[in-house]
């Protein structure tokens, strides 16, 4: 019985740092340059590879923003303004953003909200 108690205490001592460790804070991303997994130098006339509903943005050689649809087509989008969190306040931006986990967001009613409209285009 004492062995079980010792193992439980030891296991708790090893697990404690994992539980109390806080996640790293990400730097703000307020431009297209820091948005992860954006396809660069796409040809909008070619088909794209949609691996699901995340990380869908692509930029052509001129920097125009596109989104890869479920039908594997590039469709034009407003400017990609950076990474935002779902529900974060926005100021009426006409651009689009991406969540840290790759969802498309638009500014609606003062907050960044998921928008799958273009994906199902």
Give the pLDDT confidence of 2-50 residue by residue, as tens digits: 544 444 444 444 444 444 443 344 568 999 999 999 999 999 999 999 7
Is 6 inside any structural domain? no
Task: Name the pTM for this structure.
Answer: 0.75
Q: What is the DSSP letter of 89?
A: B
Does residue 7 lie in a domain region? no
User: With pLDDT > 70 as the criterion, what percentage of the chain qualifies?
Assistant: 77
pLDDT band at 60 (very low <50, low <70, confident <90, very high): very high
19 within some domain: no
The pair of structure tokens assigned to 44 is: 């909008």
Q: Are 118 and 78 in contact (CB under 8 A)?
A: no
Number of domains the chain is built from: 1
Domain of 51, in residue numbers? 25-114
Instruction: Return the closest-CA partner of residue 71 out of 119, 10, 116.
Output: 119
């Amino acid at each position: 019985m004492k062995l079980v108690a010792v193992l439980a205490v030891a296991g708790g001592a090893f697990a404690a740092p994992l539980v109390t460790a806080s996640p790293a804070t990400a730097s703000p991303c307020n431009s297209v340059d820091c948005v992860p997994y954006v396809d660069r130098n796409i040809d909008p006339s070619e088909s794209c590879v949609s691996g699901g509903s995340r990380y869908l943005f692509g930029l052509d050689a001129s920097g125009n923003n596109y989104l890869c649809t479920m039908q594997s087509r590039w469709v034009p989008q407003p400017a990609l303004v950076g990474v935002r969190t779902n529900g974060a306040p926005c100021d009426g931006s006409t651009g689009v953003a991406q969540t840290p986990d790759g969802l498309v967001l638009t500014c609606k009613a003062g907050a960044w909200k998921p928008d799958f409209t273009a994906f199902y285009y």
